[in-house]
Amino acid sequence: MRSSVGVSLGTCGIRTARTTEDGTWTDGTPFDDWQLSPSAEDVARMVRGIVDRPDAPQSLGVAHRTPAEREQIAAALAEEYVSDVHLIDETDAALEYLRPGLPTHHRTIALFDAGETGVDIDIVDVESGRSYGSTRTTAISGASFDAVVREHILGLGIVREPHTHDEDAALTAFCRGIKEALSSHQTTSTPDGEHVLLERHIFELSIARSTEQAAATVRQLGLEAEFYPDAVVAIGGTSNVPLVRATLERFLQLPVIVPDRPELVVAGGAAVHATRVDAAHVPPLVSHRPALTRLAMIALPIVGVIAVIGLFTALGSSEGDQPLSTPASVGERVSQTTSPAAGNTTTSTSTSASTSAPTPDVPPPAPTTTAAPAPAADPAPYVQYQPHYYPPAPAPAPTVPLPQIPGVQMPVIPLPVLPRLPF
């Protein structure tokens, strides 16, 4: 089954999404590394790994954030000897993913991409992808939300301040897990249940003001744009926080759409784009007729030529086996002279050959003469001549319908030379 993989490059990780031709989505290979700021070379090496796998996809797309980043990724892919990778802007990739599921009356949307380091806001036309205005704000971010949880956990005194890089990375991952759990639960606690780590309402109180600032930025951009948006689409991992959606609805008085798995929207759009581009470059079929029909179109002329050759050969052989006679279709006037008997006057008569061929079973009528019959002892008079031979018109071909195929040249069959014909 045909499949495609899309790749998106974030500030602190690389995300992938895989789709099949029936529209089924599966999680791609996790390449998230929150301690690494991935570069174009990291993307190229990751793509090289996808291509070398036994289940490599037929199409592959990579989303980029800026034109400079596009050039860097293209150069890095060339260094890894990877080709046929389709590069697409991340806003266009998001629209590729969102466009089929959006209501038709949402012609202009505010794309609210909340990532690890900030929010990218873009007012775009859904159909054409034209941007009416864009801005970026760092009022909210995934890192700032993680910092709120980290400060609360350290204030409880249940964990000590990290002193090494590994301890700091472990604490950051632990706080991120708490933040993500609060997206679907009202409270979080330790595995044994003895300590409550953080409740959702306390977390929302800590991030309420910054979330309102981000919503106000969207409203201001919409007022300054050529068209005010019909809806807000929140993507990115930070959009999973319930307070973000509620604040946007309250400030903008617009419907807010948060897709399932919003962090994979850009990667999924890159996969959809790659599939669409590759499908448009499939060469058309030369013919849609069945193979047997095409074979018959080739074989019938050959059979017809063989039949005509056999007909001409049989006609020539039958001419040689028949009794020799003057061909009646020649249309010539043949003079016939009789030798006089002894003592008789010489008389001559001429007969005219009929222009129509006589029936083979009926002998031609005897020539009329006034001369006396020759004595029985004398041999029959004999006239020897060499007529000019004109071959008879060829018999019509057998009534076998031959396909009208241009370019088929019928062969010229030489006929045998007939011997001299006595009569």
What DSSP string runs through 111-126?
EEEE-SS-EEEEEEET
Confidence of residue 313 (pLDDT cuts 50, 70, 90): low
Alpha-helix residue ranges (DSSP H) falling in 157-224: 165-181, 200-224
Total-model pTM? 0.64
CA of residue 251 relative to chain centroid, distance = 46
| Higher pLDDT, residue 227 or 395 | 227
Residue range 221-272, pLDDT digits in tens: 999 988 999 999 999 989 999 999 999 999 999 999 999 889 889 999 999 9
Q: Which two tokens mark 237?
A: 């991992």
Q: Which of 99-103, 212-216, 399-403 has the lowest mean pLDDT?
A: 399-403
Query: What pLDDT is stored for residue 34 in this prediction?
Result: 45
- Residue type at position 360: P
CA pair distance 324, 42, nearest whole angstrom? 97
% of the chain beyond a pLDDT of 70: 63
Q: Which two tokens mark 22?
A: 């029936």
pLDDT surpassing 80 at residue 6: yes
By C-alpha distance, which of 106, 121, 114, 112 is closest to 229? 106
* Long-range contacts of residues 8-11, Cβ cutoff 8 Å, at least 24 apart: 8/62, 8/63, 8/90, 8/93, 8/264, 8/266, 8/267, 8/270, 9/38, 9/43, 9/62, 9/63, 9/64, 9/65, 9/69, 9/73, 10/38, 10/115, 10/116, 11/37, 11/115, 11/116, 11/117
* 333 touches 314 (CB < 8 A): no
CA pair distance 100, 19, nearest whole angstrom? 15
CA pair distance 76, 41, nearest whole angstrom? 5
| Residues 6 or more apart whose Cβ sits within 8 Å of residue 126 | 95, 98, 99, 102, 106, 107, 108, 109
pLDDT surpassing 90 at residue 139: yes
CA pair distance 313, 321, nearest whole angstrom? 13
Largest separation between any pair of C-alpha atoms in the chain: 164
Query: What pLDDT is stored for residue 13 in this prediction?
Result: 80
Q: Which two tokens mark 248?
A: 């946007």
% of the chain beyond a pLDDT of 90: 33
| Higher pLDDT, residue 121 or 410 | 121
